[in-house]
Structure 1
Amino acid sequence: MDNDSSSRIVADLREWISAAPSGAKLPSTRSLVARYEASPVTVQKAMRALTVQGLIDSRPGVGTFVRMTRTARPLDYGWQTAALRPLHTRFSTSSSTMRTGTHGAIAMHAGYPDRELLPERLVRAALTRAARGDAALFRSPASGLAELQSWFATELAAATPIGITPPSPSDVIILPGSQSGLSSIFRALVTAGQPLLMESPTYGGAILAAAQAGVQVIPVPSGPNGPEPDVLARAFEESGARAFYAQPNYANPTGAQWSPDTASQVLNVVRAAGAFLIEDDWAHDFGITTTPTPLATQDDAGHVVYIRSLTKSVSPSIRIAAVIARGPARERILADRSASSMYVSGILQAAALDVVTQPGWQTHLRGLRQQLRARRDLLIDSLQEHAPRAHLTNIPAGGLNLWLRLPDGTAIDRLVRQCEDAGVFIAAGSEWFPAEPAGPFVRLNFSGANPGAFPEGARILGQALDS
């Protein structure tokens, strides 16, 4: 009975409040008891309900009032226009590959491997051990944990031929992911306003990092076998650039892998120009039918600035990478890193080191190679059957992606929206070109969740192309 009375009082007072001006005083509890012929407890219960709903304010010793309504005034940030000044380079705040697919969607747009391709057991155990160790309480050196520096140096030294001096641990700088490392490298070695040669198409994150660093990007066309050495040499000569960003192994997005001959010729061009080759070895752990050999193993004169990440192969939550550079270049990069982030989380470094030094790590990589091959081949077969108009430019020997050339005249943005409406997420190829796209392309990631849906995804893509 009391509940019914309380609800009746609340409903009646809500109607009265809606017509009353802000700040109006409500009748006293004694008056409400008399008006509604209810007990004081019932009236107090109704008042508490109105307070919780934000309709009234109680002021002890004064009374209860209709809550004042504050009209939100429009905020004016116009002054920032003059303070910030015009952007010299416009860049996107995020990539479309980072967008979250809806539940049940076929996601082939993202840039990270599915959870089942990660060494989950090793990661969880490593994080537990790292949390119990000293790394949980002390900051690491600016250049990183000595043991992790040594691991990265040893990895590269193992592939360095006799006659080439391998890198030492002191050449290594640990990074909180390769993205921030690219920004530091571009700022430190190229500097704002200066030219940077860059493969086209190439990693969208590198394009973004270059824009943020304010460098002048000069595209160098690169095909399934990498850039033409003669074209690269001409670009160095005409631009005066002193740095070239490239992905010699399993390039994102094309999956291209340079031949040993191309790699040797490109390195000779870089040496002749007195320049740096910024080698992004992001997919080092994702070989499928070949094993990558970094160009850095062919250089000990400091021309190659080598960057390798563990973020995709260990876990997206363990953002750990390293740059290996020699001479003054290394000191400039370290100075930029110290200014921007001071040091990298010791726990993440300790966990990453733990994972890659466990016996189970090599076992995981062997199984990963087989899984990636099965997924790649399934997606290729599905596209050939259901979307024959999507031309595969190259069967990648490693990496995570397929790069597809679409028929001329294809409206990419419309195609992406149409596929998304049908439950398939794909990535438009325009994001991987430093300048205007060379044609209509899309990138499909074959390492995402639910590979069993690849045939259906390819069917939807094929239908969208046909329409």
Structure 2
Amino acid sequence: MTNDNSSRIVDGLRTWVAAAAPGAQLPSTRALVAQYQASPVTVQKALRALATQGLVETRPGAGTFVRAVRTTRPADYGWQTAALRAPHAPARSVATALRSTPNDVIAFHSGYPDRELLPERLVRAALVRAARSEAALSRPPVAGVPELQSWFAHELRATTPAGVSPPTPGDVIVLPGTQSGLSSVFRALAGPGQPVLMESPTYWGAILAASQAGVHVVPVPAGAHGPDPAELTRAFEETGARLLYAQPNYANPTGAQWSAERGQQVLDVVRAHGAFLVEDDWAHDFGITTTPVPLAAGEDSGHVVYLRSLTKSVSPAVRVGAVIARGPARDRILADRAAESVYVSGLLQTAALDVVTHPGWQTHLRGLRQQLRARRDLLLTGMAEHAPRAHIENVPTGGLNLWARLPDGTDLYQLTRDCEDAGVIIAAGTEWFPAEPTGSYIRLNFAGPNPAAFPDGARIIGEVLQHHHG
């Protein structure tokens, strides 16, 4: 028994199995050792190979048998079509900003900052400390950990002018990310079938949240300085809407920042119509050449519902945000949140609070401002040099994105496909319009990975545009 080549045994047994009936028992190991003049170890190795191929199965104490071929009946889910009826909102594919991509591409599509721009050491240390604290085993209050509520209230209070009543910790509801907060606001303050005004273009997630909440989105055109107060007034009067969603600071996708005068004009329109302004301050920590002052800081009569996120600036893994609202509006939003998620993980709340109250947080934000400016300017220079057909009207004073207008008639679908084939991922601007796009746009995230590749990415975009338009 010197031949230990198990492949000879596998070939022989495969022929035997092919001629045998399902469930037939193979000869015993002792019989196979004698038949093939091989060692027991070699025979067992051959049997394991056949089992891996799905040809045989071993039953402990009984032996090895030819595996029966089981035909799987295709699942029939047709009954669900009748049970579910037509969806109340059209199904949407995963947003381009959430796509995962290989490391060997130049990625301009993401909605999140690169890992290099996060306070990684602060986050890791905070998670370790939180895991060792009572937060790892206890249930937090529904509205949030009191210390974190106080921090959010203090952040807004720091910019509250004299004569205006600042928010209190009790006005704060901690959220598992502001995306879920948007859904609650639309459900609690508007409701299915009711009109909600939105800047156009605007954050794709707000459009999605409104769609899922069943509200009727009414676009209001917005340029580099925000919505036109006259257009906003007309929209309120024509629709009877009581809710406006907007991003006064570093709007996604345009990067627009309202002036203090425009903010006051918008607030006057909102108050005159007895309405709410939902102020999404998603990029509060991403100022570059300006420091954002929320409209909510100067408004104490309950017309502004303020959303503040820490997800992008602390870590995507620490999904924590807050909504600050006053009066019955706050109560309705809290009731919706309690029904939706009961409470936010106390572990994540504790970790987030640890990060933003650490002395290193402010140091990190100062360095982040410089890094964002360098990345923004690098991409702006690259686009101006290599892709002059992509017109960037507004140089953002904060945020993460550039918003570029392409020549009329650009086939955005084919453009994004051709760029991807060349190793550059971009986001077509169509996802940021609540209704029909007003032109051909792309959004470019200058906070993405590998800024050294930005000039090459801009060159590829320019070459593809040149090919499309000659």
TM-score interval, smaller chain: over 0.9
Distance 1:3 1:408, change over 3 A: farther
Give the aligned residue type for 2:165.
T
Equivalent residue runs for 1:171-320 within 5 Å: 171-320=171-320
Equivalent residue runs for 1:365-380 within 5 Å: 365-380=365-380
Q: Render the CA deviation track for 1:55-100: whole Å, top value 9, x for unaligned.
A: 2123466553210111121111000001110123214142111112
Counterpart contact for 1:406–1:442, Cα < 8 Å: yes
Structure 2: how far apart are the matches of 1:442 and 1:136?
Answer: 43
SS of 2:4 mapped into structure 1:
helix
Structure 2: how far apart are the matches of 1:148 and 1:63?
Answer: 63
Structure 2: how far apart are the matches of 1:34 and 1:296?
Answer: 87
Give the aligned residue type for 1:346.
G
Give the aligned residue type for 2:341.
S
Distance 1:289 1:61, change over 3 A: closer
Residue 81 of structure 1 aligns with which residue? 81
Give the aligned residue type for 2:274.
G
Identical positions, percent: 70
Residue 161 of structure 2 aligns with which residue? 161
Distance 1:69 1:332, change over 3 A: same
Counterpart contact for 1:252–1:401, Cα < 8 Å: yes
Give the aligned residue type for 2:143.
S
Counterpart contact for 1:2–1:42, Cα < 8 Å: no
SS of 1:409 mapped into structure 2:
coil
Counterpart contact for 2:250–2:398, Cα < 8 Å: yes
Matched, 1:32 2:35: no
Give the aligned residue type for 1:289.
T
Q: Render the CA deviation track for 1:340-365: whole Å, top value 9, x for unaligned.
A: 11111111111111111111111111
Q: Which moved more, 1:51-60 or 1:297-306?
A: 51-60
Q: CA RMSD in A?
A: 1.5
Matched, 1:426 2:426: yes
Residue 396 of structure 2 aligns with which residue? 396
Distance 1:33 1:128, change over 3 A: closer
Counterpart contact for 2:4–2:38, Cα < 8 Å: no
SS of 2:185 mapped into structure 1:
helix
Q: Which moved more, 1:12-21 or 1:133-142?
A: 12-21
Structure 1: how far apart are the matches of 2:383 and 2:5?
Answer: 67
Q: Render the CA deviation track for 1:202-245: whole Å, top value 9, x for unaligned.
A: 00000010111111101000000000001001101101111000
Distance 1:435 1:69, change over 3 A: same
Distance 1:2 1:79, change over 3 A: farther
SS of 1:290 mapped into structure 2:
coil
Structure 2: how far apart are the matches of 1:124 and 1:322?
Answer: 22
Structure 1: how far apart are the matches of 2:238 and 2:285?
Answer: 36
Residue 15 of structure 1 aligns with which residue? 15
Give the aligned residue type for 1:387.
A
Long gaps (5+) in structure 1: none
How far off is 1:2 after superposition?
Answer: 5.3
Counterpart contact for 2:200–2:222, Cα < 8 Å: yes
Counterpart contact for 1:311–1:318, Cα < 8 Å: yes
Distance 1:187 1:17, change over 3 A: same
Residue 352 of structure 1 aligns with which residue? 352
Residue 90 of structure 1 aligns with which residue? 90
Equivalent residue runs for 1:332-347 within 5 Å: 332-347=332-347
Structure 1: how far apart are the matches of 2:382 and 2:33?
Answer: 75
Distance 1:52 1:101, change over 3 A: closer
Counterpart contact for 1:91–1:211, Cα < 8 Å: no
Residue 326 of structure 2 aligns with which residue? 326
Structure 2: how far apart are the matches of 1:236 and 1:3?
Answer: 88
Q: Render the CA deviation track for 1:143-185: whole Å, top value 9, x for unaligned.
A: 0000000000011011011111010000000000011111111
How far off is 1:30 after superposition?
Answer: 4.7
How far off is 1:129 after superposition?
Answer: 1.1
Distance 1:61 1:371, change over 3 A: closer
Matched, 1:440 2:449: no
Counterpart contact for 2:4–2:42, Cα < 8 Å: no
Give the aligned residue type for 2:464.
A
Distance 1:65 1:250, change over 3 A: same
Distance 1:121 1:20, change over 3 A: same
Distance 1:306 1:39, change over 3 A: closer
How far off is 1:45 after superposition?
Answer: 4.3
TM-score normalized with structure 1 length: 0.97
Give the aligned residue type for 1:246.
A
Counterpart contact for 1:91–1:208, Cα < 8 Å: no
Distance 1:58 1:117, change over 3 A: closer
Distance 1:386 1:42, change over 3 A: closer
Structure 2: how far apart are the matches of 1:79 and 1:3?
Answer: 59
Residue 130 of structure 2 aligns with which residue? 130
Distance 1:314 1:65, change over 3 A: same
Q: Which moved more, 1:40-49 or 1:239-248?
A: 40-49
How far off is 1:128 after superposition?
Answer: 1.3
TM-score normalized with structure 2 length: 0.96
